[in-house]
């Protein structure tokens, strides 16, 4: 039987989902364990069959009253201990199932005691009905409690059982007392009389108990499949052995080996539960949670919540490093009935867990700082956002930036000489790290240390991350001043993400070119002063350039009053023909507003009366060679090809205030574009005529 305990109590962990090829079977349903378990249950029944099949040769009688008395008293004692322990667990957990299971062992213990006391030649001179009936009656009562305990008790039923726990125990105690008087006092009731020679009839009790124990074992087995546990396996085994014992009791040949066999089965049934409880106690070092796996699912969930709350309390206390007259582990030890050594282990485990969690939070803060240091974030906003995040994980972090070669942090001034070799400076319980940009001191950061062993290393990582973020912000600020003034933000971002698009060389790309210039610029220039020419150009370009950039275009040339913008180069752009057409119409609307403002100012006498020139726009789509032309030190982005030349020719033919597009552009605009056909045009440098259109409007 000890081999069975070792076999059934071992709980195998399921394989990881990634490697699992067959469904996980809980320990009791694992093929090998199931076979061993079945063997231990079949062997007693096989032995009973052999004894009863050979009553004269094998099922011999051996009547030894003292052996029977002490065997039954020992089993009763085991049941008293188990019943008491489970009763304490039931009161501690307020669990109805544990109440009913405790009554299984307490009722068995009481009737075993009655059976032992009625053993012939102990108190009574001979056998009695009480001797024959005490054990089967007691086990039948226990089977009723076992069946009830295995039912899926809901909240209402559980509350009913808990509210009547005292009544159930009192009724059981009263029944035992009355049974004892009736069995032990001579001539008081028939229970003290001698039964017939073949013993009292036990068939009804036995059959009822066999059914109830079998049903209880099946229901507990189903619980075990959902929540594998060695104590549940022990309970299943006990109920199965008790069912076999009651089945064996049907024969009731007093003092025969078959009669002794069902006494031994009873001993094994309750001894098995006791042994399992002892093994679990040795493993856990405490009896507080021995029977938690038997409890109702609601109780298990409540306990899990309590454990989670206690763990959070422990971790929170250790993270804060709060000074308390009573250590948190001691408070939890009282709450969960832990031993002194367990409380010490809990303190050390909690300390390690708190350090690990704090390390995880600080690493997460580092990741967040890197994530928030995105392109285009203002330097002040970057530092404010980063400080808010890192202070949650690192404590009172301070940052100062260089001004006139000196950086002030936490009321202390530092210069580049204070950080030889870029090493940090320690002051009290903090490290002051230099923040650098292109190898030069740009600021300093003060980080508290001393809370975890990894503080110094984490402070260095944080300083490095902040230096990178600060340098990126400043470099991007320079790019915004230079790079972004020549192209749209989307194009600039695309080139930052893929610098290969700005490499020297060229490639053949379909693009849309937009040419624009001012009709009448030469005449205007002859009539006004140079300063007025500059003012006029700046005013028109200030209005026109955003129209190109907002539609994703890149301005590659300003030549006097003319400009060239490309769409779909250098960064790729969907619907580039439509974007260029929208930009052209937007430019004409912006130019018209400028013309209205100029006319108003001329009427008011704030400007001379010379007529201002007007924009004309040409747009064409086609293949062109685009790339960076120049040297590694100085380069210029441009496009060359027939499609670009056609755009220039269309712009030269356009009337002031209009947008002229080529046939390829028109085809890519789709339906809804409102145009007027100019027919086939003969353009300079082109042998074949080019069909062109005046673009009036695009669909919204």
3-class DSSP string for 21-56: CCCCCCHHHCHHHHHHHHHHHHHHHHHHHHHHHCCC
Fold classified for 2-11+32-283:
Rhopdopsin 7-helix transmembrane proteins (1.20.1070)
- Residue 6, pLDDT > 50, answer no
> SS3 for 338?
coil
Helix (H) or strand (E) segment spanning residue 693? strand 690-697
Q: What is the mean pLDDT of residues 158-180?
A: 89
* Cα separation, 255 vs 251, whole angstroms: 12
**Signed CA dihedral, 477, 481, 483, 486: sign only:** positive
Q: Which of 112, 117, 119 is nearest to 136 (CA)?
A: 112
Look at the block and give the residue holding tokens 């001191």: 441
CB burial of residue 110 (10 Å; 0-12, 13-18, 19+): buried
Q: How crowded is residue 620: how many other Cβ atoms within 10 Å of its Cβ?
A: 31
> SS3 for 200?
coil
Q: What pLDDT, on the 0 to 100 scale, is given for residue 18? A: 42
Residues 669, 696 contacting (CB under 8 angstroms): no
16-38 CB burial, b ≥16 within 10 A, e <16: eeeeeeeeeebbbebeebeeebe
Count of helices and strands (H, E) across the chain = 21, 14
Model pLDDT for residues 52-93, shown as the tens digit of each residue: 566 666 756 777 778 878 888 888 888 888 888 888 888 888
Q: Which of 1, 181, 169 is nearest to 90 (CA)?
A: 169
For CATH 1.20.1070, list the domain ranges present in the chain.
2-11+32-283
Q: What pLDDT, on the 0 to 100 scale, is given for residue 385? A: 80
Q: Taking the C-alpha atoms of 376, 382, 388 and 390 in order, what is their torsion angle to the nearest 10 degrees?
A: 100
- Max alpha carbon distance in the chain (Å)? 146
Q: What is the mean pLDDT of residues 298-327?
A: 65
Residues 266, 242 contacting (CB under 8 angstroms): yes
- Residue 328, pLDDT > 70, answer no
Rounded percentage of the chain residues whose pLDDT exceeds 90: 19
DSSP state of 285: S
Q: What pLDDT, on the 0 to 100 scale, is given for residue 638? A: 83
Q: What pLDDT, on the 0 to 100 scale, is given for residue 332? A: 63
Residues 641, 624 contacting (CB under 8 angstroms): yes
Q: How crowded is residue 589: how many other Cβ atoms within 10 Å of its Cβ?
A: 11
Q: What pLDDT, on the 0 to 100 scale, is given for residue 656? A: 94
- What are the tokens at 462? 């944080």
Q: Which of 622, 617, 687 is nearest to 649 (CA)?
A: 617
Q: Which of 443, 421, 424, 420 is nearest to 433 (CA)?
A: 424
* Cα separation, 222 vs 231, whole angstroms: 14
Considering the chain, what is the average pLDDT of its residues? 78
DSSP code per residue over 435-500: EEETTEEEEEEEEE--SSTTHHHHHHHHHHHHHHHHHHHHHHHHHHHHGGGSB-HHHHHHHHH-GG
- Residue 362, pLDDT > 80, answer no
* Cα separation, 462 vs 433, whole angstroms: 9
678 vs 298: which has the higher pLDDT: 678
> SS3 for 613?
coil
Q: What is the mean pLDDT of residues 196-216?
A: 73
115-129, 348-362, 438-452, range with the lowest pLDDT:
348-362
Q: What pLDDT, on the 0 to 100 scale, is given for residue 4? A: 37
DSSP state of 684: T
Residues 251, 206 contacting (CB under 8 angstroms): no
Q: How crowded is residue 94: how many other Cβ atoms within 10 Å of its Cβ?
A: 15
> SS3 for 337?
coil
Q: What is the mean pLDDT of residues 452-459?
A: 77
Phi, psi of 125 (to 5 degrees): -70, -25
Look at the block and give the residue holding tokens 């939070």: 361
- Residue 482, pLDDT > 60, answer no
- Residue 502, pLDDT > 60, answer no
For CATH 3.30.70.1230, list the domain ranges present in the chain.
498-697
Q: What pLDDT, on the 0 to 100 scale, is given for residue 19? A: 43
DSSP state of 632: S
- What are the tokens at 88? 């304490």
Q: What pLDDT, on the 0 to 100 scale, is given for residue 632? A: 67
Q: What pLDDT, on the 0 to 100 scale, is given for residue 460? A: 81
163-167, 506-510, 545-549, 566-570, range with the lowest pLDDT:
506-510
280-284, 289-293, 573-577, range with the lowest pLDDT:
280-284
Q: Taking the C-alpha atoms of 131, 132, 134 and 137 in order, what is their torsion angle to the nearest 10 degrees?
A: -170
* Cα separation, 640 vs 626, whole angstroms: 6
224 vs 695: which has the higher pLDDT: 695
Highest mean pLDDT among 97-111, 244-258, 303-317, 339-353: 97-111
Model pLDDT for residues 128-144, shown as the tens digit of each residue: 777 777 778 888 888 88
* Cα separation, 408 vs 99, whole angstroms: 69
- What are the tokens at 139? 């086990």
Q: Which of 118, 115, 117, 161 is nearest to 138 (CA)?
A: 115
* Cα separation, 654 vs 696, whole angstroms: 13
Q: How far apart are the first and last CA of the chain?
A: 86
Q: What is the mean pLDDT of residues 37-44?
A: 60
The separation between CA 261 and the C-alpha centre of its own chain, rounded to angstroms, equals 55
- Residue 226, pLDDT > 50, answer yes
User: Looking at domain 498-697, which CATH architecture does it have?
Assistant: 2-Layer Sandwich (3.30)
Q: What is the mean pLDDT of residues 85-105?
A: 86
For CATH 3.30.450.40, list the domain ranges present in the chain.
373-483
Look at the block and give the residue holding tokens 């396996």: 233
* Cα separation, 22 vs 7, whole angstroms: 22
Residues 179, 128 contacting (CB under 8 angstroms): no
Q: What pLDDT, on the 0 to 100 scale, is given for residue 666? A: 96
Q: What pLDDT, on the 0 to 100 scale, is given for residue 323? A: 46
- What are the tokens at 125? 């001179």
* Cα separation, 173 vs 320, whole angstroms: 53
Q: Which of 305, 312, 270, 12 is nearest to 142 (CA)?
A: 270
Q: What is the CA radius of gyration of the chain?
A: 47
Fold classified for 373-483:
Beta-Lactamase (3.30.450)
403 vs 332: which has the higher pLDDT: 403
Confidence of residue 676 (pLDDT cuts 50, 70, 90): very high
In this structure, the strands spanning 614-630 and 659-662 are parallel
Q: What pLDDT, on the 0 to 100 scale, is given for residue 37? A: 56
Q: What pLDDT, on the 0 to 100 scale, is given for residue 293? A: 76
* Cα separation, 450 vs 264, whole angstroms: 64
Highest mean pLDDT among 46-50, 228-232, 615-619: 615-619
Q: How crowded is residue 118: how many other Cβ atoms within 10 Å of its Cβ?
A: 27
* Cα separation, 414 vs 417, whole angstroms: 8
Q: What pLDDT, on the 0 to 100 scale, is given for residue 539? A: 92
- Residue 29, pLDDT > 60, answer no
473 vs 492: which has the higher pLDDT: 473
Rounded percentage of the chain residues whose pLDDT exceeds 70: 73
């Amino acid at each position: 039987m000890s081999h069975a305990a070792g076999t059934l109590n071992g709980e195998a962990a399921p394989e990881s989902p990634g490697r699992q090829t067959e469904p996980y079977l809980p320990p009791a349903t694992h093929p090998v364990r199931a076979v061993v378990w079945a063997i231990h249950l079949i062997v007693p029944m096989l032995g009973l069959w052999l004894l009863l099949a050979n009553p004269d040769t094998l099922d011999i009688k051996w009547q030894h009253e003292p052996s029977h008395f002490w065997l039954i008293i020992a089993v009763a004692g085991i049941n008293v201990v188990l019943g008491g322990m489970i009763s304490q667990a039931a009161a501690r957990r307020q669990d109805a199932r544990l109440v009913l299971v405790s009554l299984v062992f307490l009722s068995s213990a009481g009737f075993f005691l009655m059976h032992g006391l009625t053993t012939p030649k102990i108190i009574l001179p001979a056998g009695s009905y009480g001797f024959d009936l005490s054990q089967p009656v007691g086990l039948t009562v226990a089977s009723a409690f076992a069946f009830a305990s295995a039912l899926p008790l809901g909240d209402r039923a559980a509350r009913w059982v808990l509210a009547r726990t005292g009544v159930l125990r009192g009724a059981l105690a009263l029944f035992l007392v009355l049974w004892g008087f009736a069995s032990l006092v001579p001539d008081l009731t028939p229970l003290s009389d001698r039964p017939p020679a073949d013993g009292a009839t036990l068939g009804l009790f036995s059959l009822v108990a066999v059914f109830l124990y079998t049903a209880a074992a099946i229901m507990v087995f189903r619980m075990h499949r959902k929540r594998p546990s060695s104590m549940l396996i022990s309970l299943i085994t006990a109920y199965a052995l008790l069912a076999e014992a009651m089945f064996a009791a049907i024969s009731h040949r007093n003092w025969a080996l078959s009669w002794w066999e069902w006494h031994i089965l009873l001993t094994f049934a309750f001894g098995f539960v006791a042994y399992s409880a002892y093994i679990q106690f040795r493993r856990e070092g405490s009896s507080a949670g021995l029977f938690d796996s038997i409890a109702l699912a609601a109780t298990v969930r409540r306990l899990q919540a309590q454990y989670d709350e206690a763990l959070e309390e422990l971790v929170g206390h250790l993270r804060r490093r709060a000074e308390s007259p009573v250590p948190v582990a001691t408070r939890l030890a009282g709450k969960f009935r832990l031993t002194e050594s367990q409380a010490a282990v809990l303190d050390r485990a909690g300390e390690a867990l708190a350090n690990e969690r704090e390390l995880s939070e600080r690493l997460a803060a580092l990741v967040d700082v890197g994530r928030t240091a995105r392109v285009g974030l203002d330097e002040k906003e970057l530092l404010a956002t980063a400080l808010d995040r890192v202070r949650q994980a690192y404590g009172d972090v301070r940052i100062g930036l260089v001004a006139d070669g000196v950086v002030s942090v936490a009321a202390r001034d530092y210069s580049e000489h204070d950080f030889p070799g870029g090493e940090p400076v320690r002051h009290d319980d903090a490290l002051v790290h230099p923040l650098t940009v292109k190898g030069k001191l740009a600021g300093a950061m003060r980080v508290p240390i001393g809370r975890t062993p990894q503080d110094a290393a984490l402070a260095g990582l944080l300083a490095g991350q902040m230096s990178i973020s600060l340098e990126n912000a400043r470099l991007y600020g320079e790019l915004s001043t230079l790079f972004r003034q020549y192209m749209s933000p989307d194009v600039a971002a695309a080139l930052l993400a893929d610098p290969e698009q700005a490499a020297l060389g060229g490639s053949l790309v379909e693009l849309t070119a937009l040419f624009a210039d001012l009709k009448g610029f030469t005449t205007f220039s002859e009539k006004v002063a140079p300063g007025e020419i500059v003012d006029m150009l700046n005013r028109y370009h200030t209005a026109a350039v955003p129209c190109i950039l907002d539609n994703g275009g890149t301005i590659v040339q300003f030549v006097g009053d003319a400009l060239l913008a490309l769409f779909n180069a250098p960064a790729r752009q969907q619907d580039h023909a439509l974007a260029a057409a929208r930009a052209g119409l937007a430019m004409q609307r912006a130019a018209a507003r400028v013309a209205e403002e100029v006319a108003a100012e001329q009427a008011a006498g704030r400007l001379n009366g010379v007529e201002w020139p007007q924009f004309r726009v040409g747009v064409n789509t086609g293949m062109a060679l685009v790339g960076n032309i120049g040297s590694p030190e100085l380069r210029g982005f441009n496009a060359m090809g027939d499609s670009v030349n056609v755009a220039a020719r269309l712009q030269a033919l356009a009337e002031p205030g209009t947008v002229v597009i080529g046939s390829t552009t028109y085809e890519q605009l789709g339906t809804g574009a409102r145009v007027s056909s100019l027919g086939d045009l003969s353009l300079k440098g082109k042998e074949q005529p080019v069909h062109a259109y005046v673009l009036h409007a695009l669909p919204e």
